[in-house]
Amino acid sequence: MLAAVSVLMLGALLAPVTTASASPAAPEAPAPARIDLVLDLSGSMNKIDAGGQTRLAAAKQAVTRIIDTAPEQAPLGLRVYGATYTGKDKKQGCADTQQVLPVTAMDRAAREEAKKRVAGFKAVGFTPIGVSLREAAKDLGASGERRIVLVSDGDETCAPPPPCEVARELKAQGIDLAVDVVGFRTPSSARAQLKCIADATDGSYADADDADSLTDTLGTLFRKAWRTYHATGKPVVGSLDGCQNAPLVSPGQYLDKFTGGRNLYYKVKKRTDQRLQVSATAVAEEGYERGSIIVVAAGPPGDGEPRSWLREFDQSMGWANIISTGGRSTPGSGNEEPAPDDTGCIMVENKVTRSGDKAIPVELLVGIADKTTRSTGARTPKPRTGADAEGGFSFNSATPIGPGTHRQSIAVGEAPFWRVELQAGQKLTVKAGVDIPEDFVHSATTGWGVTVYDAQRESTTCNEDNDATELFAGRTGHIERVCGPWDITEQDGTQSPDPNGYDVPGTYYIQAQVAEPDAKAKGIVVPISLTVDVSGTPVSGNSPVFFFGDDAAHAKGPSPSGANQNADQGGTGEAGGKGAAGGTTVATKDDDSLGGELALPIGIGAGVLLLGGIALYALRRRGAA
């Protein structure tokens, strides 16, 4: 959506961003996991039972897809076994394992070379799984997060060494290495052996029967290592000692960091006849306390905490890896305290980290609604359906969807986002279901979580019980959560805020996740369905149109075809992803889908914040306090 606000007018009102420090503000993203794909090319891969084609042809299709969709920065290698020796000498056949692609970043040259190698694969030989695992561990080096993804269609034919013993041997070395295994058309006699490899290394196991299921399963396993919440924004360094030395921020999205329990401060220009939105999202990692809280506040600078314009906070809900909240100032100059020279102060209060904790990324979204834009319409993104409706992995890459049912598969530990445009007078119902297999690895806190965020990026109430996550309690089969129905209202300064959080029309975000802290379950692929129902008649009125900057707010969503599809993308809240000057969004380069580019992690995907919907309810304070 594109706010009809003159860039020149805003430029006169809002000064460009300056920072108090010349050093880069954004926390460095941890290096993406190094992954070695180990592919079975033994003679049995020539069987024609993989959906009308040979297992080899199906494997080539799936591996080529992984190569095509890997992010350029993601280190990927490829090892094969049984690919060259056609004889019957066991000693030679059991030494037949080669690294055909070194573990390297997938730039254009590496990608093309890898695909050429895959196209020339032949399946001819033995099945030396144990030896190949040992060599794959060497391929990955001795440091950082490493994963082996093994695709095999049968039993080891070269033991010793038995593959499960090799897996235990690698684990006993104390290195950060896990082995995920995909059994491709695997007979029951071999399945136990392959599962043992995954279990021994805290990896995961999945079955695949044809090219499509192998492609989906491999894609999800790779997503587990590469696709978690991807924080984006213009680098900024907030002041740690109040507003006096704080940088001035204009409408846009910024990336800062929480360190050592310190709050962040920024200056912002806003007249009393304008409305301000401030949203903050902390991308947390494992190990933070239950009940972590993030607070945003704004008001004139001065002694104490700025809060007369807005103050909102939210507490961790579910196992999602973010805590997000936001607020808007009330309309009209009579409801706000003026600031000297129209320069106010934004505070993001840090109750997530403590002294000595690792720094974590914080997204800051700043928007302004000017009275001259209140009656102006805004462009909405074109909803997606089918494969194009795969969830994204941040607010910025959330996939636009409309009413209807959307189906996909996700890995345990993923928490994809979708977005829905809503107007005052409409009613929202979200129904999200997951199908849990009989052999799912349960723990006491396993559950199905659904979170709805409003246009301020603040979590809303899902249902009357106010729980975000439903425990499985050992159940399998179809499990469903329903949020709503909720009426979308519009706070106009004359009514009390909706305590459920549905009083802000605009872009709503839906996040779904299988909450499972046990690492053994991470990567298990489960089918999900998301049904969105929007009913009611929009209420006409002069809704404010927030401007979030030329480069702020919203990136293109997932693009399974790999093509750029941002022509119809909108913004966060009511502002456009392309500003008045037509600038591209901050996350456009980074956030694609599995079919485009897989987002690199800046946070850990799951098992992060404690289960607020079960033992802990979100605390909400709406409006200035």
Domains of the chain: 7-28+231-362 (2.60.120), 34-226 (3.40.50.410), 377-614 (2.60.120.380)
* DSSP code for 174: T
SS3 label, residue 132: helix
pLDDT band at 521 (very low <50, low <70, confident <90, very high): low
Element (H, E) at 430: strand 426-436
Model-wide pTM > 0.75 = no
- Nearest Cα to 426, choosing from 493, 481, 505? 505
| Residues constituting the chain | 625
pLDDT in tens, 4-54: 332 222 232 333 333 333 223 333 444 667 899 999 999 999 999 888 899
The three-state DSSP-derived secondary structure of 457-512 is CCECCCCCCCCCEEECCCCCEEEEEEEEEEECCCCCCCCCCCCCCCCCCEEEEEEE
306-327 per-residue burial string, b: 16 or more CB within 10 A, e: under 16:
bbbbbbbbbbbbbbbbbbbbbb
Residues paired with residue 313 on neighbouring β-strands, in sequence order: 295, 621
Instruction: Give the largest Cα separation in the chain, rounded.
Output: 89
Q: Structure tokens of 149? A: 């993804």
H runs (alpha helix) in 208-336: 211-226
Whether the link from the prior residue into 128 is cis, omega within 30° of 0, is no
pLDDT of residue 317: 55
Q: Which parts of 62-196 are beta strand (E)? A: 75-81, 97-105, 146-152, 177-184
pLDDT in tens, 409-461: 887 777 889 999 999 999 999 999 999 888 787 777 788 989 999 999 999 99
- Quote the distance between the C-alpha of residue 211 and its chain's center: 26
Element (H, E) at 12: helix 7-13
Burial class (CB in 10 A: 0-12, 13-18, 19+), 80: buried
pLDDT of residue 514: 84
- CA–CA distance from 3 to each of 199, 376, 393, 545, 570 (Å)? 52, 8, 25, 6, 10
User: Using an 8 Å Cβ cutoff, are 402 and 382 in contact?
Assistant: no
Between 4-18, 84-98, 278-292, the lowest mean confidence (pLDDT) is in 4-18
User: Using an 8 Å Cβ cutoff, are 559 and 552 in contact?
Assistant: no
pLDDT band at 151 (very low <50, low <70, confident <90, very high): very high
SS3 label, residue 369: strand
- State the CB neighbour count (10 A cutoff) for residue 479: 18
pLDDT in tens, 360-416: 899 999 999 986 655 444 467 799 998 788 888 889 889 999 999 999 888 777 788
3-state helix, strand, coil split of the chain in percent (to 5) is: 20, 30, 50
SS3 label, residue 420: strand
- Nearest Cα to 400, choosing from 590, 565, 584? 565
Element (H, E) at 433: strand 426-436
pLDDT-above-90 percentage for the chain: 39
pLDDT of residue 425: 92
* DSSP code for 403: S
pLDDT band at 624 (very low <50, low <70, confident <90, very high): very low
pLDDT band at 593 (very low <50, low <70, confident <90, very high): very low
Tell me the C-alpha distance between 607 and 523, whole Å.
Answer: 13
Q: In sequence order, what are the residues at sequence separation of 6 or more whose Cβ sits closer than 8 angstroms to the Cβ of residue 198?
A: 167, 179, 180, 181, 204, 205
pLDDT in tens, 195-234: 999 989 888 888 888 888 887 778 767 766 666 677 889 9
Q: For residue 413, which amino acid is it? A: G
Q: What is the CA angle 519-520-522, rounded to 5?
A: 65
pLDDT in tens, 487-513: 998 866 556 778 888 998 999 999 998
Is the model more confident about 169 or about 356?
169
Tell me the C-alpha distance between 551 and 395, whole Å.
Answer: 15
Could you write out the DSSP letters of every residue in 218-237? HHHHHHHHH-S-----EE--
Sign of the C-alpha dihedral, residues 140, 142, 147, 152?
positive
Q: Which parts of 33-87 are beta strand (E)? A: 34-40, 75-81
pLDDT in tens, 532-573: 999 999 987 667 788 998 644 333 333 322 222 332 333 333
- Nearest Cα to 180, choosing from 411, 356, 398? 411
Burial class (CB in 10 A: 0-12, 13-18, 19+), 86: exposed
Element (H, E) at 197: helix 188-200
Mean pLDDT, rounded, for 141-148: 82
331-342 per-residue burial string, b: 16 or more CB within 10 A, e: under 16:
beeeebeebeee
User: Using an 8 Å Cβ cutoff, are 38 and 279 in contact?
Assistant: no
Q: In sequence order, what are the residues at sequence separation of 6 or more whose Cβ sits closer than 8 angstroms to the Cβ of residue 135?
A: 79, 97, 99
pLDDT of residue 581: 27
Average model confidence (pLDDT) across the chain: 77
Q: Structure tokens of 418? A: 């979708």
HSE-up (13 A, CA, CB side) for residue 490: 17
Residues paired with residue 459 on neighbouring β-strands, in sequence order: 453
Burial class (CB in 10 A: 0-12, 13-18, 19+), 120: exposed
Tell me the C-alpha distance between 14 and 176, whole Å.
Answer: 48
- CA–CA distance from 76 to each of 94, 145, 148, 234 (Å)? 25, 12, 10, 29
Q: Is the pLDDT of residue 596 over 80?
A: no
